[in-house]
Amino acid sequence: MSNENTMNPPEPTPIPIPPDFPVTWENPDDAHIFWQHDRMHFPDPALPLEGQFWALSMGKLNMEAVYNAPTNTRFLHVNTYLYLAWAPRFPLEEMEVQGKLYEEKLNAAIAKLEELWDTEWLPEIKTHLAFWDAFDLREAGVPELLIHLDETFDRMIRLWEIHFLTVFPALMAIGQFDELYQDLFGSEDTFASYKLLQGFDNKTVETGREQWALSRRALASDEVRQTLETHAASEVIKALEATSAGQKFLVELRAYLEAYGQRGDKWGVSYPYWIEDPTPVIKNLKDYITQPERDATAELAELAAERAQAMAKARERLKGYPQQVVEQFEFLLKAAQIGNVLTEDHGFWIDFNCLYRVRQVFMEFGRRCAEANVIETSNDIFYLTLDELRETARALPAGNRRALIDERRAEMEHFRTINPPSALGTDYGPPPESAFGRVMQKFAGGPPQPSDEPNVIRGNSGSPGKTRGPAKVIRSIAEADKLHAGDILVAETTAPPWTPLFATAAAVVTDTGGILSHCAVVAREYRIPAVVGTGTATSLIQDGQILEVDGDEGIVRIVEE
C-alpha cells in the first residue's frame, strides 16, 4: 500500500449479510472484525464441539510469543461454518510499523529455524504426545477425565504456538528466496526458484511412499492381491483375517497405520482417523495394485538430481555478483529448503498426531455417554458444546441429549445446502503492502481470476505441466474409490491425508490455495500438474468431463462434455 493510502485508509465498510445466512453477533465487537470463511481447512460445516475447539484453543493463543505478531488468530463458528480472522493487536495507525518490526523478528528466526525445530520444538511435541499416551482414558474417573480435558486444551494452545513459530518463518524464507531469485534472474518461469527446493524427503511424501511400498507387498501374495481385487474396501480386513497370508499382511498394514495412520479425512477432531477406520488406505491399496511398477525412492532421487542441476546453474549465473548478494542467496536458499520440509513435517506432528490424541479424549466422553444411552453413538458427542459435554459427563448415567443432537443435526443439514458468504463483519480494504503479506498471498491464493471464456476456469499455478483427462470431483476421501489412474482430481481442498491419491491422479485442481499451499507443494513432489485457488472448480466441473489442466498458466479448460 502506498504512503498516501496508509495515511488515508479507506472507510471501514460493513459487509452485507445474505438473508439465508442470518448472523447474530454474541460479542458486538466481532461485527467490526474482518472474518473470512476458511475454505482451505474447513470447507464443510463444522460440528459444534469441533467449532468450539478451534475457537477456544486458537482464541487463547498468545501471539505476542510468536515473534510479537501484530495480529491475533481468531476463529468464529457461525451457522455451522468456521470463519478465520487476523485481528489487529495494535491500533490501526500503528499496524504498518508493528508489521515491519514483526518481519525483522521473522527474518532473525529464519537463521535458527532448523536448530529450534530439531533441538527444542520437535522434542517438546513428542513430550506432549507421551503425556497423552501415558494417560489411561478408559480407567480414569469422570473428575480425572475432566481435568485431563482442561490439560489437553492447555497443551494444544502451546502446540499452536509452536505451529506458528515454525510455519511463519518457514513460509517467510520460501517467499523471500523466491523474490530474490526473481529479482536476480527474472520471472520467465513461475516455478524456477521452487526447483531449487524440491526433492527433499518430508513426512507427507514419506507417508505416501510407504503406502505405495505396502501395495507392492500386497502384490507379492496372490491371496492378498485377490482379496483386494474381489472385496469392497469395507470388507477387506475381515476377508484378510480368514487366511494365513492375509493375517501376515494385516500385521504389516497395522504397523503402517501405527506409524502413519494418525491422520483424518480433513483437518479437525470430529473425523475418524485412518488408524480408527483404515478404509481410505485400503481404497488406495486397491487402486495401487492395478498400476504399473514405479520406484518412489528413485523418483525422489531424480527430483534431487534436478535440484542439484538447478542449483549449479543458479550459482554459475551468480558469478560476478557482489559477495554480499551471493551470501544472501545461499542463506535464503538453505533456509527455504528447510522451510519447505517443515511446512509439511509440522503438520504431521501437530495438525494430525496431536489432534488425533485430542480426538481420543473427546471420544472417551462419547463412549461413556453412548454406553449410558444419553447419546446414540460415540461420535454424537461432537454435536454438544464443551459446557454441555462437561454437564453431561458429570450427570451420567442420567440425562438425555438425543433430542438436542437431532435438532443440531437438522441445523447442520440445512446449512450444508447454503453457500456461506466468503466474508463477514467489516471490510477495511487491503492491508499495507509487506513481505509477509505477499508470502501469505502465495500460501492462501488471491481472489479467483474471472474468465471471459465459458469453458475456461482460472486459478493459481500450483505445479508445472499440462495434461488431459476425465474429471472426478471428490469432496471427501470416502469418495476416493472413484478416482482411477489418469483421472483429474477436483476438490475444494486437499489435506495431507489426500496426498496418496496424487500417485493415482494425473493432475489436481482445487478451489482454494496458492503456489505455497499444501496441495501445490506436494503436487510438485509428485510431478503432476496442479491449478489451485480457482474458487469455483467443484461447482462448475462435473464427473467425466474431459479437462485440460495447464499448471504453468493456472488454467483449466473443459474440452469435452
pLDDT tens string 50-83:
999 999 999 899 999 999 999 999 999 999 999 9
The predicted pLDDT at position 69 comes to 93
Among positive and negative, which fits the CA dihedral 265, 267, 271, 277?
Answer: positive
Residue spans in the chain of domains classed CATH 3.50.30.10: 445-560
Nearest to 378 by CA among 361, 357, 398: 361
Q: What is the mean pLDDT of residues 436-461?
A: 87
Task: Tell me the C-alpha to C-alpha distance, in Å, between residue 203 and each of 206, 209, 405, 496.
Answer: 5, 10, 37, 10
The predicted pLDDT at position 465 comes to 96
pLDDT exceeds cutoff 80 at 497:
no
Among positive and negative, which fits the CA dihedral 247, 248, 249, 252?
Answer: positive
- What percentage of the chain has pLDDT greater than the value 90? 85
Q: Would you tell me the crossing angle of helices 203-219 and 244-260 to the nearest 10 degrees?
A: 180
The mean-pLDDT minimum among 3-12, 90-99, 252-261 falls in 3-12
The predicted pLDDT at position 127 comes to 98
Collapsing DSSP to helix, strand or coil, 70 comes out as coil
Three-class HEC string of 369-417: HHHCCCCCCHHHHHHCCHHHHHHHHHHCCCCCCHHHHHHHHHHHHHHHC
Q: What is the mean pLDDT of residues 266-287?
A: 93
Average pLDDT of the chain?
93
Which residues lie closer than 8 Å to 44 by C-beta, 6 or more apart? 266, 416, 475
**DSSP structural state of residue 193:** G
Task: Tell me the C-alpha to C-alpha distance, in Å, between residue 535 and each of 43, 472, 513, 549.
Answer: 12, 17, 9, 15
Nearest to 511 by CA among 85, 80, 41, 40: 40
pLDDT exceeds cutoff 80 at 404:
yes
The whole-angstrom distance between residue 201's C-alpha and the CA centroid of its chain comes to 18
User: Tens of pLDDT along 195-213?
Assistant: 999 999 999 999 999 999 9
Rg of the chain, C-alpha, whole Å: 24
Partner residues linked to 556 by β-bridges: 457, 549
pLDDT exceeds cutoff 50 at 3:
no
User: Tens of pLDDT along 445-454?
Assistant: 877 778 878 8
Q: What is the mean pLDDT of residues 347-375?
A: 97
* CA atoms within a 13 Å half-sphere pointing along the CA-CB vector of 300: 12
If one compares 189 and 464, the residue with the highest pLDDT of the two is 464
Its CATH architecture, for the domain 445-560, is 3-Layer(bba) Sandwich (3.50)
The predicted pLDDT at position 445 comes to 86
The predicted pLDDT at position 466 comes to 97
Collapsing DSSP to helix, strand or coil, 520 comes out as helix
Nearest to 113 by CA among 66, 166, 164: 166
The predicted pLDDT at position 8 comes to 60
If one compares 447 and 99, the residue with the highest pLDDT of the two is 99
- What percentage of the chain has pLDDT greater than the value 70? 98
Characterize 122-140 residue by residue with b for buried, 16 or more Cβ atoms within 10 angstroms of its Cβ, and e for exposed. beebeebbeebeebebeee
The predicted pLDDT at position 434 comes to 85
Nearest to 6 by CA among 434, 431, 439: 431
**DSSP structural state of residue 476:** S
The whole-angstrom distance between residue 23's C-alpha and the CA centroid of its chain comes to 27
**Listed ranges 93-97, 257-261, 452-456, 491-495; the one with the highest mean pLDDT:** 257-261
User: Tens of pLDDT along 128-180?
Assistant: 999 999 999 999 999 999 999 999 999 999 999 999 999 999 999 999 999 99
Q: What is the dihedral of CA 470, 471, 477, 479, to 10 degrees?
A: -80
Nearest to 519 by CA among 463, 459, 452, 448: 463
The predicted pLDDT at position 494 comes to 86
In this structure, which amino acid lies at residue 380? D
In this structure, which amino acid lies at residue 163? H
